[in-house]
Amino acid sequence: MIGLHTNILVRYLAQDDVVQSPIATDLVENRLSEHEPGFVSTVALAETIWVLERAYRLNAAQIAGALTRLLQVGTLVVESEEEVFKATVAVQEKRGRFADVLIGALAAKSGCIYTVTFDKEALRLAGFRSP
């Protein structure tokens, strides 16, 4: 397995760099395989979504599309894929931000009874409480 950094994921999804984007695309689509897949950590994924939201100004539908695209790539292993999928659905349905939903889902997966936050938007999500 080969770990993928945020910048590889951003270049692959955004296709915005004439030099790096084709290299990232070749890596993901041709050089990785089911026997030697690319590993996408939740940290790299959350960072990628942050970049796409802040730097590229993608909206919720575009973010959900990018996440769905990554989840469908057969040569990628996504850490905590079920929780990432839950966060993707929440973004698609405009129920919350990706990172917030992912934080709550990973906490629940780890046995937490709830997640505390000061974030008013996150407090609207199931499983979050004010301290």
pLDDT tens-digit series, residues 76-128:
999 999 999 999 998 899 888 999 999 999 999 999 999 999 999 999 999 99
Every domain of the chain and the residues it spans: 2-99
Please tell me the predicted confidence (pLDDT) of residue 129.
97
Give percent of the chain above pLDDT 70: 100
Q: How confident is the model at residue 20 (pLDDT cuts 50, 70, 90)?
A: very high
Long-range contacts of 61-69 (CB under 8 A, 24+ apart): 61/92, 63/91, 63/98, 64/88, 64/89, 64/91, 64/92, 66/13, 67/91, 67/98, 68/92, 69/13
Mean pLDDT of 48-70: 94
The pTM assigned to this predicted structure is 0.89
Residue 110, CA distances (Å) to 32, 44, 97, 106 in order: 30, 20, 20, 6
Please state, rounded to an integer, the average pLDDT across all residues of the chain: 95
Please tell me the predicted confidence (pLDDT) of residue 95.
87
Q: Is the pLDDT of residue 69 over 90?
A: yes
